[in-house]
Structure 1
Amino acid sequence: MSGSHAIPGTSIGRPTQREDFSHETATVSLAGESYFFSGPARSYGRVHRGMANQPKLDFDHRTGSGKTAYIILGPDPHFFQCLRYTRGSIAARSKWYSFCYCSELEDYGEISDLYTEHDVERPSFLYLGPNKTFYTRVDDGTEKWELPHEIVRQALQVTSDAVRSAVDSLWLGVGDAWVAQYRDSRFRFDLKGQYANLGPILRQKQDQEVSINALALDVADGKSYVCVFNDGDVVYKAGSARFDGKELEAWCEQNFRFTQRLRFE
């Protein structure tokens, strides 16, 4: 199916009266030199050239007019973004607008079709993987994916003709690497020898029955990653993205709710 993308300034979904988006989960995204960390308090990163007038973006959602900035990076130049912001005086006009500015989903045409059909502002989950692979789910549970048969069988744990899986999140990496987390908070993974040092940590957390809050496998190389666990552990390797680790750690403290103090590795 041919790809499509939103025209700049075209609204995706209807304006919503909800003023609180704090329930929406924080996400992390890595694509070579580009990265973006989206959260309820702050969202920031360096995005693909052509996405914005300047590659570095930074949104303070507590004080600025940008209420949320959800950006998922695929391999350059692909991305999806949903920006919500206030128009006019917040005190005088408490209405939020959601705009998707020129999301580049060419090669991911089924995503565009699904979001149009379901009037999606922000999907429940989206990951744009290498080689036109993807997994997404919208609010009513409808899923779409384009995946190698092995990932469908081992990660989604369904047959090739299935339309629903038990997956809650599916993160995709180079060389057909994957990490899948299910609705009961269990997760499985096969990194295919990529993302050195992450595998043993995932295995340890698996044994401890710890779940994943957010994960990014760099979709441009098999080296960089960010993984935030729900027990407060955060592990990362910046690689070519060269993001500031201390800044990431501060962002995690702002944007995730943990029952214990964060630990970084």
Structure 2
Amino acid sequence: MYMIASNIRHLRTLKKLSQEALAKDLSITRSRIGSYEEGRSEPSIEMLIAFSNYFKLPVDILIRTDLSKTKDGSFLNVAENRILFPMVVDLEDDDLIEVVPIKASAGYLNGYDDPEYIDQLQKIKLPFLPTGKHRAFPIKGDSMLPLKDGSFVVGQFIEDVRDIQNGRTYVVLTNSQGMVYKRVYNQIKENNSLLLVSDNKTYNPYLVPAQDVLELWEFTCCINTQEYDEHELQMSSIIRMFNELGVELKALEKMMQ
């Protein structure tokens, strides 16, 4: 049944459970767990619901999504029936981040909660990033100078809107505005809104209702592409820039030790 066999085995391993321990928790036999993990039999609907409740993951995620790319069990329930996977790793067990391409950024509002859409995004390795889930977003317009159109911002996922640090910059995804990059001020206590402010003062600040906010990603680092010609800004070039940034910062870190 799609990915269910490998997913059960992987999730059990993440929780450091033996087949016997998992079977006991689910009130079934160890041999049934072994049969599911080896693909010799498929769980019934009732059993899928039991696995879903136990691992706190939607049934369709258990069936359709390859969870072996995640390296811990701390999946984030960011909305009802929606899961954000905190980490993806490569063959060397290094953390990877997804890059939202410029041409596909308009579709992010429709695909941000679709595991298949996120899974097809190109991924890069930035070993200098702090612990947490990160994603890279293209910047549009000139409202956040000196960053210009086409630049990329890497943001760290913020699970709770109340964790916003006033005056810091965030990639904000909302139902009404789509994806924007702004300086954010928390006004939830005053009017249940966030105040979004541009660094370019020709743009007026505006309020966004807290319930309209779908995702928040706090600025971690960026690639400013203003020095590059348009023909140079292919996705392969962007990926190379980020990788070179990681190498340079790792070298600097070693020099300062």
Q: Same fold (TM over 0.5)?
A: no
- TM-score of the two chains, using structure 2 as the length reference: 0.25
Higher Cα radius of gyration: 2
The structure showing larger relative contact order (alpha-carbon pairs under 8 Å, at least 6 residues apart) is 1
> Larger % of strand: which?
1
> Larger % of helix: which?
2
